[in-house]
Amino acid sequence: MMNYEKRACCICGTETAGSRGINTILPAEDLEFVQLKDQWNGFFKDADCERSFFSYIRCVACGLLYCPKYFYADQLANLYQNMPDNTATVDLSSLRKTQHGYFKALLPHLEKLQGDYFEMGPDIGLFTEYVVKKNQFNKIWLAEPNRTVWPQLEQLLEGQSSHLFSDLLEEDPIPNSVLGVAVMIHVLDHVLDPVQMLTHLHSKMQDNGLLVIVTHDESSLLASVLKQKWPAYCLQHPQLYQPKSITHLLNKSGFKVLDIQKTYNHFPLGYLLNHLVWALGFKKKVFPDWTRLQLPLKLGNIITIAAK
């Protein structure tokens, strides 16, 4: 028997009735948990496996695109504990270029900021590297639930005043009103209760402190063209944002949005071609990575900068 949690909109709490808006031939809510575990990691893991995700609908009140049925928290914990780091399938030089682009969007604001730095879900610390080199903050706080990457983060933070921990809400080690900057890169799409998380984070921020968030943009041209084959529609994302819905979320959580920009992602040519082939329905990896040839493309991500 399929056993998943029924959800209202995680921004406004409205329960939206209606048919499935965006779904696959095999919606995740119609499959057993053990079947979904096999699909949790990777796009090319099983060439004969039809990709599944939980069906998305749009909230009739605030416009958020979300899954009205999704994993329970304990199911998610089971899945994430065996998940490799987010860099496992992408060339590191490409990822560093992408992360540097995010950092450049923050740079114009940095000179005015003081206090501590916080990053949720830094993974192996590709963005954090630039923060460490800038050497501007009193203390660096990193919340990373995947303990397998902690040795890399600890090495990166050597000589810094820092604190590495697993969960902001459960451990709550950060004093109130100390953060000058907080960063969440491809994290908010995964958070089951973003209002609770952001409201709590708001209390940790200094007045006029900046919050930097990178998310997928479900209103992007790429999402419109690929429809249900857009890679961001996946088991890991209980909701997806666009400029309007993320602005509504941040306003509700006490933040004021200063800027929203489309971002460039850098990809090896082979990686892009393999995903194009996959989107067309062929589930095998047919091209080598060709990592020396990297293309900067605006592929459906946005960076949002907000202030307390």
The CATH code of the domain that includes 288 is 3.40.50.150
β-bridge mates for residue 58, sequence order: 65
pLDDT, one tens digit per residue, over 224-259 is 988 888 889 999 999 999 999 999 999 999 999 999
Domain membership flag for residue 61: no
pLDDT score at 39: 82
Domain membership flag for residue 193: yes
CA angle 47, 68, 242 (to 5 degrees): 80
Q: How far apart are CA 233 and CA 245, in angstroms?
A: 17
Domain membership flag for residue 5: no
Domain membership flag for residue 278: yes
Domain membership flag for residue 143: yes
Domain membership flag for residue 6: no
Give the residue numbers spanning the domain of 301. 92-307
| 3-class SS of residue 183 | strand
Give just the sign of the alpha carbon dihedral 71, 187, 151, 175: negative
Domain membership flag for residue 168: yes
Residue with tokens 């992360």: 99
Tallying the residues shown for the chain, one arrives at 308
pLDDT, one tens digit per residue, over 176-226 is 999 999 999 999 999 999 999 999 999 999 999 999 999 999 999 889 988
How many domains is the chain partitioned into structurally? 1
Nearest-Å Rg of the Cα atoms of the chain is: 19
Q: And the tokens for 292?
A: 């020396």
H-only helix segments in 53-159: 73-80, 92-110, 126-134, 150-156
Among candidates 254, 244, 260, 258, which has minimal Cα distance to 308?
A: 254
Domain membership flag for residue 98: yes
The amino acid at 47? A
